[in-house]
Structure formats: C-alpha cells, structure tokens
Amino acid sequence: MTQDMKFETVAGPFDSPANGVVWDGEAVLFALREEQRLMRLDPASGEVTEARKYTSRTGGLAIGPDGELYGGQEASRRLIEFLPDGSSTAIDALLDGKHHNHPGDLSVDGQGRIWFTDPFSPVLAQGPQFFPPLDHASVLRVARDHRRAWVMQRMTFDTVAPRAVLVSADQKTLYIAEGEPDHDHVRELRAYPIDGDGSLGNHSVLHTFGADHRGPQRGIEGMCLDADGNIVACGGWAKNGPGPLIYVFSPAGRLLKTYDLLADMPNRCAFGGPDMATLYVTTATGKLLAGKAAG
C-alpha cells in the first residue's frame, strides 16, 4: 500500500553525500562525512548552519537516553561523544585488544549501550596504518561496566557487510540491514532477538532485496522507529528495483506502506520536529529531505 508523503529539500544539495541524521530536541543535526562537518537545521526558521567541523569523517549519528550525541568517526576508527561545550571525547574501548574497523550506523538502547555497524571501508584511516582491520565485519556494542569504563563486544557472527542497525521499541529485538549492493552480498532486513543476557539469538529475515540483469538492488541504508514501533527504512536507487523509497515494516516484517522519494539514494532517516512527526532523510546526492504523511 502506498500513501502520500510529500518530501521537500530543506538543505543542500551539498558537495558530498549527506549521512547520519538525528533530532536533538531543538534542531536536526546531520553529517557531511566527506566534508568532515556536522550541520544544523532549525526547522522553525529553515536556517542551516555548521554545528561542528573537523569531524574526522563522522557518518553515523545517534542520540542517547539522556540526550548524549554520539558519532562514528570513520577516519579515526572510533566512536566519540560530542559534548555540549563544543568539545568531544573518545569512547576508548578495544575489541579483545584490537582496533575495530570503520564505524557506520549507530543505535543507542535504553540502557545507554551503543550498537554500531563496523564494516570494512576502501578509504584508509588517517595517519600511519599501524592497526590492521579485523577479519570480520560485524555489529559491535559498547557498554559501561561497573567502573563506568566502556567495554566492547562483538554481537554478530553471521554478517558480512552490515549497513544499518536499530533497537526495537521494546528493547527485545535488534534490526540489522545486511549487505552492500553487490552480486556477492545478500541484502536483507534481519531481526535478531536480544536475549536476557544481552546476547543475540538466531535472526529472522524480514525482507530480501533481489537482483536482475541491471544488477543488484540497493537495500536498506538507514532505519528509525515510528510512534507505533514500526520500522521506517530508507533505501533503493533509481538504477533498478522499485527506486528510492521509504519502507514501513511492522516488527514482524509485514510491509505496511511505502513512500516515493524524488531524490536518489537515501542514506539515513530520523523523525523530528516539535511533534516528532516529520521524517528527515539524507541522501547520497547531498540533500536533506523532510516529509510528513498526508492526513
């Protein structure tokens, strides 16, 4: 079922793709990873300003339960917290003594644990290459221990190219978008049960993206939750498949509705605005879109 949602460009186009996007309670923040900037949109005035610069290729963004702003710095291979005074602090944690890959998408649960995709990247980290990449591309999690120190764990052992991650409204399921648009990758929306001890159970496949003579379809790149706990996902492209779309899935994987996007290659999405009813979408074409369902 398709319903009307009118999207308009509210920022851009910029000179590079727009990536992570969040609502911080007052404004929309979104990342220009290649330009190493975070931008701020005031929805009341429509003014777009630079919120941060020199962000070390920050792409993924997430808001914590107490309003913390976290980012994934691909160029530094680390997670950071952007502090209100304009500074930032690194989340200093290793995975079994090793540096992880290039953090992508982030989702923070009600306990303040940060779940993030950790794919490989063709773009090298800044500085000397002292630390080799891991031998896997997984979803990882950092959480504070009893001393308030950050501890990192590997959470998935069956992912090859995780693209997006999202904790469910009831905190019992982790949704993962798996697979790059490549013939060697499956592109799936998966649901992993979060067990009582915090580990992940066996996943269920909620949706699969195919391929044809034009090549593989582009799957899901970003996800958020709507007010009913449904999965709102953005993905697709104009070159094949159904095109660039917003998908709305029930927690069980039923496709409830889709929304067309005129801008190609959506990257991330988040609800925001005073009523939290406006859907903001970033695109690889360097735009920030805003849309609201009709009726």
* pLDDT of 204: 98
Domains and CATH numbers, the chain: 5-293 (2.120.10.30)
* pLDDT of 294: 64
What does the pLDDT look like over 250-295, one tens digit per residue?
A: 999 999 999 999 899 999 999 999 999 999 999 999 999 999 876 5
* pLDDT of 227: 95
What does the pLDDT look like over 208-241, one tens digit per residue?
A: 999 999 999 999 999 999 999 999 999 999 999 9
* pLDDT of 2: 44
* pLDDT of 123: 74
* pLDDT of 121: 84
Amino acid at site 126: Q
- Total Cβ atoms within 10 A of residue 249: 21
pTM: 0.96
pLDDT < 70 stretches in the chain = 1-3, 294-295
